Structure 1
Amino acid sequence: MMSTEIPQLHVMFLPFLGLGHMIPTLDMAKLFGARGVKTTIVTTPVNSPIFSKAIQRISKDLGVQIGIKIINFPCVEVGLPDGCENVDTIPKGETSMEMTINFFKAVSMLQESVEQLLSECKPNCLVADMFFTWANESASKFGIPRLFFNGSCSFSLCVPAACMIHEPHKHVSSDSELFVVPGLPGDIKFTRKQFPEFMLSNDDNNGFAKLLKKTNEEDLKSYGIVFNSFYELEPTYADYCRNVLGKKAWHIGPVGLCNRNFEDKAWRGKQSSIDEHECLKWLSSKKPDSVVYICFGTLAEFSFAQLMEIALGIEASGQDFIWVVRKNKKDEDGNEDWLPEGFEKRIEGKGLIIRGWAPQVLILEHESIGGMVTHCGWNSTLEGVTAGVPMVTCPLFADQFYNEKLVTQVLKIGVSVGVEEMRNMGVSAKREAIEKALKEIMVGDEAEEMKKRAKSLGLMARRAVEDGGSSCSDLNALIQELSSM
């Protein structure tokens, strides 16, 4: 007698090799797995521990099994240091752009290895990150849909898509002249300085610009898009993506809310460089909504002079704060001369500096946090939204200027520090601007209204992932559609 058992749906995830992409991908796999879907994550040897430790906890706590497949990353072959398998580890300095281009060359060379896995594992769907420009081609070879994982939000996909269609940036007289993005609701304005180079360049010899342009084109050709966002946050732009751009799209976030226990929140990505309990104890000594959390993401590389400006701006604002500095910045003599003289003594009890990786979600969820300063990377932005805190926006590159406009112009839960130009390294924010923006979100005339709006969005985010919520329903609908194919 023939079996009528329905085969288990199998989804393979291919995250880009950076913590900001791998962390939400793991959360997605966890969400799919909790609904009975077989899930497999593809990564490289150096990156595998980031997944394996978390997967052990997920298996123990939830009984959800997530598979890992490891492929070699050709770092040495393209001129990268041995073991440079993560964008966060690309050497900084004068050769950083060359090294970044080499890194993306190595990513382009992974196609054959991934297709070998597709042949062996026979998944029903490939969820591939935005930088795998060959993913559509690979998925089509095996007759399966490729879903494009958009590490950002609908708004930040719609802005460049609308600009590629209408090209408003070609009709301004200077790089600093504001233009409105045509066809996009909300009267959204930018300057050419705030756009990535690939949007502006007609130089066919610019390999990196060509790569990013192809990335955008290929992503829009995929079967559909999965967003780490929720419909209520950006309904106008979610509808624009579906109805104007004509894309199938599912908003299943905030995916990070699948992490319920202390360890999953504390050890997302890396182990914290500060004792989580001591950090929370320090926060508990402060009044509700009185502390600013300051963090510029994993890729920001500031000069000593810029760090000095940030420190002086923070101090002048008079606000209690936690400031995350990703690396222990020292000069050749081993001195931390980026800190103003006597700074740490003056801020004793008032400020906490974390040198390295911080338990960001745990910090933001604490009742004493009343605002954050962010580079506007989407993970941090969404974590700020979910925690219900207003933001000071300080974008650096990539989609961060788009995310800033969403926070400040659309949601009205943030204040810009005034960065006017996209840069690969650091920002040019002055201490006076930092001081002013911090005071605006914490004690300014509009602070209470911003806080009310932010807290309302935080509640919406949590409702979205509950049973019957918009993100929960979108994820169930996506799984049902994939199962029926």
Structure 2
Amino acid sequence: MSSSKFPSIIETLKPNLIIYDGFQPWVATMASSCNIHAIMFCVCSTSNLAYFYHQFLYGSSSLPSFPFSSIYLHDYEIKKLDIQPIKPRDEKAFAYIILKSFEQSHNIVLLNTCREIEGKYIDYISTIGKKELIPIGPLICEVTIGEEEDWGTIQSWLDKKDQLSCVYVSFGSESFLSKQEIEEIAKGLELSKVNFIWTIKFPKGVNTTIEEMVPQGFLESTKWKGMVIEGWVPQSQILNHSSIGGFVTHCGWNSMLESMSFGIPIIAMPMNHDQPLNSRLVEELGIGVEILRGENGEIMKEEVAKGIKRVVEDKTRKQVNLKAMELSEKIKLKGEKAIDEGVKKEIEGKYIDYVSTIGNKELIPIGPLIREAIIGEEEDWGTIQSWLDKKDQLSCVYVSFGSESFLSKQEIEEIAKGLELSKVNFIWTIKFPKGVKTTIEEMVPQGFLESTKGKGMVIEGWAPQSLILNHSSIGGFITHCGWNSILESMSFGIPIIAMPINHDQPLNSRLVEELGIGVEILRGENGKIMKEEVAKGIRKVVEEKTRKQVSLKAIQLSEKRKLKGEKAIDEGVKKLLKLLC
């Protein structure tokens, strides 16, 4: 949106409140001239905001010094960014723009973060800035399978690699590397001997090719270990793939949030703007390592290789993987708490408090957001509903493993045999990977569909999960424990029969048992699904003595969540009304 068109938009819409991007401080100026309150949405990390606001208030040489020693700038970064001390009239500088937006925000600042990531910085800037800081993140693009035509090719390549054996290399859409930098990174990747997928972007109007920019012979020598792509790729889908064990990134805040949300360790190679301080945050949180540079900030192939190997191969791997997964789980769990408690600060607590203090704004977390069940949204719902209506209350289990977890023929057969052994009613949705030509009849045991036709319904593809879980006949949910599926199950008070596959799911499954809202289906020594354990898990939730206990726990959690959610909305509305009145 251009500033020239903005006054006419305000005149047409007549808003009471405007929320603006931190890189558009002119919005707040125009809103103020129209007597409209404007609130900043900070798109960079709160640690950056806290650091720069501290410099703005106190300067670089005077006391007090910035209280968090792990957040700092190298000499070459200070020289390159020209940000210390901050020049009060340097209106094009990154730091100046963000600070001007912060200063103009009316009492409150919204943050794309949470207390688990940046809590102390939130507290600090809240104190010295005298604003309330409200974390509402992390807000990231949802993984959408098939959104890109090229995803099939990328997925096929990744599927052939071992779990956690690859690094994804990307420097965002606005950081462009020189030929020398590209060559050093290429040599570093080759030296590391680690599988990689690397996306390279060139500035608009620059006529060159990947072949011209990488070292001669690089593409040939790495063709079995690497995939190099020019232009945009579906980053969320790549990071969500089980073969990805590390992310070589410029540390743009959105890329960091995606990596943290998926539990992927970061190999940091910051370029400019907020990225150097974001990189220090990575090391402070213990979720990755920073690639060291030369005295003048030059990229060195040996350090690139060393950084990659530390995350993907060396002893550091276990530590950073664990930290990354723990943070990923905290983000998800605290996201649920955030919606329960409304405007409480959750993921980046220290940074929220810090920037709220020094910036004198309020920051408010609002996640997680769960899609409501919408009656009639699917043409097939009538058929499913009719089938469920004929079953007794709480007598059925719903079986689904999400949109990205695909089972082998052997696994499908064991689950089918387990369902048959349990003698419990079921509705089972089975999905196959894109491009795989097969049918349900070919994948389930011979005679299964015939022998269970009175007790079971098997559907290929997508089904309206919220509507199914909300039906009175559903007494249990066999799930891979994807976080959204768990949230839906908890919201509807449905006990969970956990069968985790990968990513965050095993830990989610442990959480289910800790909360007492379900059971986990035991597996064999090598993770094999066993029909007897499938049947046992189902019966524990739907038929046996355990049923009463887990059903009660699930319903209690559902009610607790709804009550707190309503209270949160009330509190949020009150704060906005107070602001507007």
- In the superposition, the TM-score normalised over structure 1's length comes to 0.54
Matched, 1:457 2:570: no
State the shift of 1:316 in Å.
0.6
8 A contact 1:111–1:134 mirrored in 2: no
1:113-152 map, 5 Å: 129-131=257-259, 141=274
Counterpart of 1:278 in structure 2 is: 383
Residues 235-289 of structure 1 show CA distances to partners (whole Å, capped at 9, x for unaligned) of xxx999969xx999976455115x36436xx4xxxxx6x7122212211121111
CA pair 214-444 structure 1, distance change in 2 beyond 3 A: closer
Matched, 1:95 2:165: no
Counterpart of 1:213 in structure 2 is: 320
Counterpart of 2:175 in structure 1 is: 112
Q: Distance in 1 between matches of 2:511 and 2:164?
A: 31
Match of 1:414 among 518, 534, 537: 518
Counterpart of 1:197 in structure 2 is: none
Match of 2:446 among 319, 341, 345: 341
Matched, 1:369 2:474: yes
Helix, strand or coil for the counterpart of 2:508?
helix
Give the superposed CA RMSD: 5.7
Counterpart of 1:256 in structure 2 is: 370
Paired letter, 2:522: G
8 A contact 2:519–2:537 mirrored in 1: yes
Q: Percent identity?
A: 22
State the shift of 1:203 in Å.
5.4
Helix, strand or coil for the counterpart of 2:539?
helix
CA pair 242-433 structure 1, distance change in 2 beyond 3 A: farther
Residues 176-225 of structure 1 show CA distances to partners (whole Å, capped at 9, x for unaligned) of xxxxxxxxxxxxxxxxxxxxxxxxxx95372799699389569979xx99
Helix, strand or coil for the counterpart of 1:289?
coil
Paired letter, 1:131: S
CA pair 331-218 structure 1, distance change in 2 beyond 3 A: closer
Q: Between Structure 1 and Structure 2, how many residues are aligned?
A: 340
Q: Distance in 1 between matches of 2:270 and 2:322?
A: 13
Helix, strand or coil for the counterpart of 2:443?
coil
8 A contact 2:381–2:464 mirrored in 1: yes
Paired letter, 1:412: G
8 A contact 2:406–2:433 mirrored in 1: no
Match of 1:293 among 382, 398, 403: 398
CA pair 301-408 structure 1, distance change in 2 beyond 3 A: same
State the shift of 1:398 in Å.
1.9
Q: Distance in 1 between matches of 2:150 and 2:322?
A: 22
Paired letter, 1:90: Q
Matched, 1:438 2:571: no
Q: Distance in 1 between matches of 2:110 and 2:339?
A: 29
Q: Distance in 1 between matches of 2:485 and 2:522?
A: 19
Helix, strand or coil for the counterpart of 1:204?
helix
8 A contact 1:390–1:413 mirrored in 2: yes
Q: Distance in 2 between matches of 1:429 and 1:460?
A: 34
Helix, strand or coil for the counterpart of 2:156?
coil
1:147-186 map, 5 Å: none
1:306-317 map, 5 Å: 306-317=411-422
8 A contact 2:496–2:517 mirrored in 1: yes
Counterpart of 2:38 in structure 1 is: 7
Paired letter, 2:310: D
State the shift of 1:419 in Å.
3.5
Q: Distance in 1 between matches of 2:320 and 2:272?
A: 20
- State which drifts further: 92-101 or 322-331: 92-101
Q: Distance in 1 between matches of 2:388 and 2:332?
A: 38
8 A contact 2:335–2:346 mirrored in 1: no
**Greater RCO (Cα-Cα under 8 Å, separation 6 or more):** 2
Residues 138-192 of structure 1 show CA distances to partners (whole Å, capped at 9, x for unaligned) of 996399999x9xxxxxxxxxxxx8999xxxxxxxxxxxxxxxxxxxxxxxxxxxx
- In the superposition, the TM-score normalised over structure 2's length comes to 0.46
Q: Distance in 2 between matches of 1:344 and 1:207?
A: 46
State the shift of 1:385 in Å.
0.7
Helix, strand or coil for the counterpart of 1:341?
coil
CA pair 293-227 structure 1, distance change in 2 beyond 3 A: same
Helix, strand or coil for the counterpart of 2:462?
coil
Helix, strand or coil for the counterpart of 1:405?
helix
CA pair 220-382 structure 1, distance change in 2 beyond 3 A: closer
Q: Distance in 2 between matches of 1:85 and 1:328?
A: 12
State the shift of 1:448 in Å.
0.9
Gaps of 5+ in 1: 15-35, 41-68, 71-79, 117-124, 149-160, 165-201, 267-271
State the shift of 1:375 in Å.
1.1
Counterpart of 2:90 in structure 1 is: none
Helix, strand or coil for the counterpart of 1:324?
strand
8 A contact 1:313–1:431 mirrored in 2: yes
Matched, 1:380 2:485: yes
Gaps of 5+ in 2: 1-31, 46-107, 113-139, 177-200, 204-252, 261-265, 289-307, 357-362
Helix, strand or coil for the counterpart of 2:477?
strand
CA pair 276-328 structure 1, distance change in 2 beyond 3 A: farther
CA pair 382-143 structure 1, distance change in 2 beyond 3 A: same
Counterpart of 1:171 in structure 2 is: none
CA pair 340-458 structure 1, distance change in 2 beyond 3 A: same
Matched, 1:401 2:506: yes
8 A contact 1:391–1:415 mirrored in 2: yes
CA pair 452-432 structure 1, distance change in 2 beyond 3 A: same
Match of 1:204 among 302, 310, 317: 310
Paired letter, 1:377: G
Larger Rg: 2
Paired letter, 2:511: L
CA pair 355-105 structure 1, distance change in 2 beyond 3 A: farther
CA pair 240-300 structure 1, distance change in 2 beyond 3 A: closer
Q: Distance in 2 between matches of 1:213 and 1:320?
A: 43
